[in-house]
Structure 1
Amino acid sequence: MEVDAVILAGDKEGRALLPVGSRPMIAWVVEALLASGRIRRLVVAGPAELAPALPSDITLVPAGRTTVDSALNGAAALPASEWLLLVTADIPLLKPEAVRDFLDRCRERPADFYYPIVSRECNEASYPGVKRTYVRLRDGTFTGGNMVLIKTSALLTCARRGQELVRLRKSPLALSRLIGLKFIVKFLTHRLTIAEAEKHFSRLLGARGVGIISPYPEIGIDVDKESDLELARRVLGSGPKEPS
């Protein structure tokens, strides 16, 4: 399965250009995607300062005001795409085989969008002590990944509804009414299943979504705190150097 991809690199902190090993962080993500052999076209949505860190054949488009806007900007630069793989720029530990595995697993179930999740056991086995935000479900304890495979035709609908959820985050009462009390209670008591969460968020976003359990923890280890950056530099510090 070959898809077009958009790297979302518009965060205000400029994390995409943080040095990790011998190169900027985003360069590791680009390399993993291209080495997977599954990416047809690649676009980066981010500031102009990223250009020197990117291969010359990769299109750079401006980041939007929000992550959703950046995704839409990237999609606009990839006409006629049926599927888009949206990837954040802050997962330098990403491996080509993780990308291939995720896309292969997505083919096993029909849906409009797919989201990877990683079990706590998987994370701890590969990276003991790594700090992630976990959600305890009936099926196990999981953390989210940092990519989404989505049908281009579903992107706008999901974007609009997703922005509405974000807008309501400052109004707990309105948000709880939208999400539903039964869902919240099951979530808080750890009785919610992956299947129930899929069904609920599919309804909220207006498209069928599926959670994909990935055996590759690197797909969810984003660099959002100093300990994450230290981990990435420890793992990749001896990586290949850029050609002079």
Structure 2
Amino acid sequence: MLKAFILAGSGKSDKLKEKEESPKALIKINGREMILYIIDALQKLDYIEKIVVVGPEKKLRSVLKNFDVDVVEEGAELIDNVMKGLECFSDEDEVLIITSDIPMITPEALDDFIKRAKELNADFAYPIIPKEDTEKKYPGVKRTYVRVKEGTFTGGNAVLVRVGSAKRCLDRAREFFLYRKSPWKLAGILGIPIVLKFLLGRLTISEIEKRVFELFGINARAVISRFPEIGSDVDKESDLELARRVLAREVVP
């Protein structure tokens, strides 16, 4: 059995929140709040035994009152919300952490990632999606891609973690989060050789995994997923329109 928690924090610099006048998780897509699509996908996996949602508690409870989920009040930052979610489980648990802004997610995509991740027996497993798969399924979509020796990938919006290991590395992760928009500070942490190989497109996935182990002391593994929906988050108006079009086609009359 597996447990899960959804990151549904309101976000201080959320452009969609300002435009839609609602926390992102509660923006409606074809008449349903975005977070409900994620909960639906999780509940269709019969091995998910517990779901926790971290976000604006009062607003979420009014929407989720008929769902079998626990709701926890959000913190000030993303890292705080991750810790709040992890505290709901024991250190021995394996937990799927997923964001609330991937409404096109399917049970098949999650099941494929979870099964591949569990085979690796890692402390931290993270999906990466080939650029060609994303562009084939969602032509014209704009995503942030990273080029490594094995190809060009975008990151997913779910991770499978061992709770105890994740808790131990959160303080260092907070440092990365604070420096995420300062490339030179990040380079100082990662090391110049790693950064140079990355810039030249010569860095391998295994080298990244090794460096993560050196920095955090955890066995982190990348999982190549052929399901673009696990990395297709809703960050801007064009993403929201894409989600509305795709999900409208999936509604059975």
TM over 0.5: yes
Matched, 1:68 2:89: no
Q: Which residue of 2 aligns with 1:8?
A: 7
Q: Which residue of 1 aligns with 2:14?
A: none
Matched, 1:51 2:67: no
User: SS at the partner of 2:221?
Assistant: strand
Identity fraction in percent: 44
- Aligned pairs for 1:99-138 (under 5 A) are 99-138=110-149
Distance 2:238 2:181 in 1: 29
Distance 2:94 2:38 in 1: 19
Of 34, 37, 41, 1:28 maps to 37
Using the TM superposition, name which of 142-151 and 28-37 deviates more: 28-37
Matched, 1:92 2:103: yes
* Kept in 1: contact 2:91–2:164 (CA 8 A): no
Q: CA deviation at 1:173?
A: 4.5
Q: CA deviation at 1:67?
A: 1.4
Q: CA deviation at 1:206?
A: 2.3
Distance 1:186 1:130 in 2: 28
User: SS at the partner of 1:108?
Assistant: helix
Q: CA deviation at 1:238?
A: 5.2
Distance 1:239 1:61 in 2: 31
Superposed CA RMSD in Å reads: 1.7
Of 183, 206, 229, 1:218 maps to 229
User: SS at the partner of 2:242?
Assistant: helix
Of 146, 151, 155, 2:166 maps to 155
Distance 1:37 1:52 in 2: 25
User: SS at the partner of 1:199?
Assistant: helix
* Structure-2 change in CA distance of 1:190 and 1:23 (3 Å): same
Distance 2:226 2:184 in 1: 37
Question: So what's the TM-score if we normalise by structure 2?
Answer: 0.89
Count matched residues. Answer: 240
Using the TM superposition, name which of 34-43 and 87-96 deviates more: 34-43
* Structure-2 change in CA distance of 1:213 and 1:60 (3 Å): same
Q: CA deviation at 1:74?
A: 1.6
Question: So what's the TM-score if we normalise by structure 1?
Answer: 0.92
Q: For 1:18, give the aligned amino acid.
A: I
Q: CA deviation at 1:36?
A: 2.2
Structure 1 gap ranges (5+)? none
1:85-138 CA-to-partner distances (Å, cap 9, x unmatched) read: 110000000000111101110122121100000000111111111111000111
Distance 1:102 1:147 in 2: 9
